[in-house]
Every structure is written in structure tokens, then in C-alpha cells.
Homo-oligomer: A and B are copies of this chain.
Amino acid sequence: MSASIQTPAAPHRRGRRSAAPAAPARAPNYRQLRNPFPVTSVFSDDEAANMHETALRTLEELGMRVLLPEARKVYASGGARVEDDMVFIGREMVAAALATAPRSIHCVAGNPARDVTLELGALAFQPGAGAPHVTDLIRGRRPGSGADFVEYTRLAHHFDVFQMMSPSIEPQDIPTHLRHFFTTRAQVEHTDKFPFLFARGTPQTLDNFEMLRIARGLSDEQFQSGVHAYTIINTNSPRTLDIPMAQGLIDFARHGQMSIVTPFTLMGAMAPITVAGAITLSHAECLAAITLTQLVNPGAPVCYGTFTSNVDMKSGAPAFGTPTHFQASLAAGQMARMLGLPWRSAAGSASNTNDVQAANENQLGLWGCLLGGATVIIHSAGWLEGGLTVSYEKIITDVEVLNMVAELCAGNKAGTDEIGFANALAKVAPSGHFFAAPQTMDRYTTEFYQPIVHDYANFGTWTERGAMDANARATSVWESVLTSPPLSQTPPDRLEALAAFIDKRAAEGGAPPES
């Protein structure tokens, strides 16, 4: 039968005629992923154990510099030796904290279908975050604005492969004493995904909690009994915990919300030049921060985190997606598995434009995180310039890769129908083709991932269509997302109550960030 069909297009026409009524539409689920890849180690178990031991020794003998007096009091109350702003943390304190830190954290989104559970083996992606600038091919590179923050939030909401929101970009046109009102409101209005809240001092943090409580329609008790939001705490490597970061750890733990502790360490600069040394330092700082959260509220949700890459030793410039960045992710995964805690890692790119370097760096960094068994992978899309800029086009081209990874998470089958001796192999003559085989007819609408920006046209057709590269094609993809009418993810009455709260607090002077 197949011999009667001569062109690739034909079976689809036939398929639409004969099989289409039964042909299901493709409906992949990217919302709750499990990492399908075997965890990979770069060091031996003994080497990893020595790194952990050295991290404990570092906290005991070298200590952490803690700039917030309240945090030093908490450490002291837990048995730490405090001298001026230095805190020396004993291993028994760390052990006690690790005994109460949860191994699995259920994160409550605005929509139960968007909830994510963070634990070893789970996998969640976030778009690139924390950038002061944004860029796209229409409007060029510019300082991040409130309008950009909203667009970015809508893009991050649109793609299911982002299971969590991120700090995204810095809306520099919003006054800093009002900025947290804007960023939190934008998230509850434009997405029902698990939100990120900035931790820039207790007044802003408490405003953020109150805004989320209003948007979700929760009592204080309901809010504090579930994990409804998270923040990211970057220690100041080496061995320093500054005032807003220490305050954030305390405030989020006290209210039962999640901190993702992430020392951001560049090998050769603020961390040792070796992977082993850098991860040992990062691990020590992470243990110190985790200990603080558990002293404040035993059982408080806290996620282990690392973000370690290297600098270019010729210029001191940060590099990402390098072999040492990859190995640092593997090493961090070994430490996280030793603790049994969910952990975050990061991809990213140092490239200045969304080019081949940007793609290769981001994907190499991504594979380091995936093989390291990371639970949360931040900066998995859109990062340029080592995080100084996010690119709308790069979000799209990176989502293509993340979607493909999500497809791999779904696995595949080799049952009788899939192997297909009867419905495929025996149905096609030598030198024939499978376009019209029964197995093909049953599956051609659903078997393969459909790309959002990759183009399979041949050279002639592609040239006739304008010879647009993937970066240029990505513009129309994000434009189509943003031109669709925004749908509020929070009921109008709650948005009104939220607006009233913001107006009241703004009239009171808002809340400037603390440092």
C-alpha cells in the first residue's frame, strides 16, 4: 500500500482524510517534571566527604561575617561563638539544622495545577533573572522598566516549561520605596505560577506577604501554614552575610515561606580558583544560612543552592557555560545529595548577543545542572552578559531547548505497538517508506515535538521566506504572546483590595529597601 504514496505531503492529506477524526491533538504536560537523567559525580564520595568536612571546619575555625545584629543574636542563641561581627558555627548546630530542614517542599501556586513540589528528583525551570537591562530586536537594549517587567512576567507565564517565577528584571523607572508593590502586584495579576518575592528589608517583605495573602484570599494562619512564595538569598562570598539577606532568611523562615540560599561564587575571584575549593566555600556559606533559618523556625522551607562558574583569568570577566561551571554543578549536586535537600543551580551565558555562543553556553550550563540532578534550574532562558541583560528573543530560543528537555522527561515506550512488527515493519516493502504505514497514520499528529521557533524548511524555501535566522524568527514568537489580551489571574475584587492596600501603604511612604 505504501508504494502508492510518493510524496511526503501525501500521507498527511490522506491522514487528514482517513485518520484525522480519530487523530488526537498533541498535549504535552510540562508542569510537574521529574529529572530522567542519571545523577553524575565529578568527585569521589571520599573527596565529597572531605569537602563537607572542610566546610564544617571553615564555619568552626574561620567563621562567617554576619552584618545583622539580630542574626548574630539568633546564632548566639543556638550556641555559636560570636566575636564582633564574626560568627563561628559548630558542626552540631549544622547537624541540628539539617535534621529539621524539610526534604520535600510543596510550593503552592495561585492555581493548584501549577503547584510544584521541590525535592531531589524533581525538576523546575526559571527564566533568567535579576537583570538590570532588557533587550529585544525591536526596541534594542535598555534599562529594565515596569512595562518590561510586566511583559517579562507575561512571557514567563505563557510557557508551561517555566514552573516558577523568577526575580526577572529590575524595573528601574519605579521608585525603590514602591518597587516591591509593583513587582508583587504584577505577578499576581499576570500569572498564577509560584511567585518570587524580593527580600529587601522587613518592611518590604511584610508588604509582599500581605499583598500575596490578599491576592490569594488567605488568612494569616492559612498563609503561614503553606509555602506560597519564595525569595533568593545570595550570600556575599567569601563568608559574609549582609543585612538584607540575613533579614530575608529570618523573615521568610519566621512566616513559613521559602528561601533559596545561593552563594554566587566565581572561581578565581570571590571563590577559590578550583571547583573543589569554590564549592567547599559555597557549601559552607549555604550551611550557615540554612542553619539560621532552622534556628528561627525549625522545619522552615529552605532550598540548598549554588551558582559557581569561573572568571576569565586574562580579564577577570565572568564566564558561563564553561567546563568548570559544568563540573561545579556536578560537585554541588554531590553535596546536595549528601544533605538530601532540594537544590537549585543555574545555567546562563556571558555572550553579549543572542548568538551561537549564547546558545552553546546556556545549553552546556543546562546539561551540567541536569546531570548534577538539580531540582531548580534558574537562568535557564534569556540570560545575556552574565545576567546584566535578558533578551526576549533568547527567552524564546532557550524555551525551545527547555521544551525538548521536558519532552525527554516524559520518556518513551517500546511496547508491541511501538516496535511495530505487524503495524509498520511488515507493512512496508524493501526500499519503500513508512508515510502511510498504519503505525504512522495512528501517530503522525502526536509522535513528535512541534518546535516554536526552529525551522525545518529547505535552503531554497527558507531563502524565499527571507533567510531569517532563529533569533530574528523569535521576535514574532514573543510578539504573538504579548499581543494576545492579558488575562488577569486574580479575581477583580481581590485586585481592588490589593490596590487599596498599595494606595494606603504608598500614602504612608512605602518601604525603602534596607541595606
Task: Give the B-binding residues of A (Cβ under 8 A).
Answer: 7-9, 12, 37-38, 40, 42-44, 47-48, 50-51, 54, 57-58, 61-65, 86, 141, 236, 238-240, 267-277, 280-281, 310-319, 322-324, 326-327, 331, 350-361, 363-364, 367, 371, 385, 388-389, 394, 397, 400-401, 404, 407-408, 411-416, 418-421, 424-426, 428-435, 437, 439-440, 443-445, 447-449, 453-459, 462-463, 467, 469-471, 474
Contact = CB atoms under 8 A, between A and B. Distances in A.
Contacts of A420: 272, 274, 276-277, 280
Given A238-B430, A352-B459, A412 B275 contact: yes
B43 A40 contact: no
B448 A317 contact: no
Contacts of A326: 404, 408
B272 A445 contact: no
22 contacts: A50-B419, A51-B419, A63-B430, A238-B425, A238-B434, A240-B430, A240-B431, A268-B444, A272-B440, A274-B447, A277-B420, A313-B448, A319-B448, A324-B412, A324-B447, A326-B404, A355-B356, A355-B470, A355-B471, A356-B358, A356-B359, A357-B470
A263 to B, nearest CB: 13
Nearest to A57: B421
A457 B315 contact: yes
A132 B89 CA distance: 66
A462 B65 CA distance: 37
A17 B359 CA distance: 38
B356 A276 contact: no
Given A319-B456, A455-B352, A467-B353, A444 B359 contact: no
- Chain B CB count within 10 A is highest, among A360, A437, A445, for A360
A51 B418 CA distance: 10
B238 A401 contact: no
- Chain B CB count within 10 A is highest, among A47, A350, A430, A471, for A430
Contacts of A62: 425-426
A425 B271 CA distance: 8
A465 to B, nearest CB: 10
A456 B177 CA distance: 35
Contact of A37 (B40, B385, B414, B458): B40
- Chain B CB count within 10 A is highest, among A9, A439, A447, A474, for A447
Nearest to A273: B440
A400 B361 CA distance: 10
Given A420-B276, A439-B273, A470-B357, A238 B432 contact: yes
A22 to B, nearest CB: 16
Given A313-B444, A364-B401, A389-B459, A408 B453 contact: no
Contacts of A38: 38, 40
Nearest to A413: B276
B354 A418 contact: no
Contacts of A281: 425
Nearest to A42: B412
A503 to B, nearest CB: 39
A242 B503 CA distance: 79
A272 B424 contact: yes
Contacts of A322: 404, 448-449
A361 B359 CA distance: 10
A236 B358 contact: no
B356 A269 contact: no
- 7 closest A-B pairs by CB: A8-B316, A47-B414, A276-B414, A65-B430, A355-B469, A323-B407, A357-B470
A9 B315 contact: yes
A264 B58 CA distance: 56
B397 A458 contact: no
A276 B79 CA distance: 60
Contacts of A58: 421, 425
Contact of A357 (B51, B323, B397): B397
A279 to B, nearest CB: 8
Contacts of A425: 54, 58, 62, 238, 272, 277, 280-281
B435 A269 contact: yes
B313 A447 contact: yes
B350 A456 contact: yes
A402 to B, nearest CB: 11
A297 to B, nearest CB: 26
Given A273-B434, A327-B408, A356-B397, 9 more contacts: A37-B371, A65-B431, A275-B418, A276-B415, A315-B456, A317-B458, A355-B470, A356-B469, A364-B401
